[in-house]
Amino acid sequence: MLYAIIATDVANSLETRLAARPAHLERLQQLNAQGRMVLAGPHPAIDSNDPGAAGFSGSLIVAEFESLTIAQAWAEADPFVAAGVYASVIVKPFKQVLP
């Protein structure tokens, strides 16, 4: 089943986010290589694809996991969680309708 992982950053997280980003991306690339990734990306803190120093306000990942428990465990093990980038992470089932 698909699950949406919706994370909200702590304030002023850009420097910490950038430091943890390689490890975070490596995990996402593993999901993608396994054919389980639907989409992933950050929420710019301002209305721009390149928010610069404004940074990001959070992230969205939609991927396939065997269960909600497994999706939650995967999300909790994210390098952004360990680094303190995320203030909160919500994981919930997702039903893709389009495309």
> Containing H/E element for 32?
helix 14-33
Say how many C-beta atoms besides its own lie within 10 A of residue 45's C-beta.
18
Residue-level pLDDT at 29: 98
Residue-level pLDDT at 68: 98
Q: What is the pLDDT of residues 62-80, one digit of tens each?
A: 999 999 999 999 999 999 9
Give, in order, the Cα–Cα distances in Å from 58 to each of 24, 35, 44, 98.
13, 24, 8, 23
Map out the domains of the chain with their CATH numbers.
2-94 (3.30.70.1060)
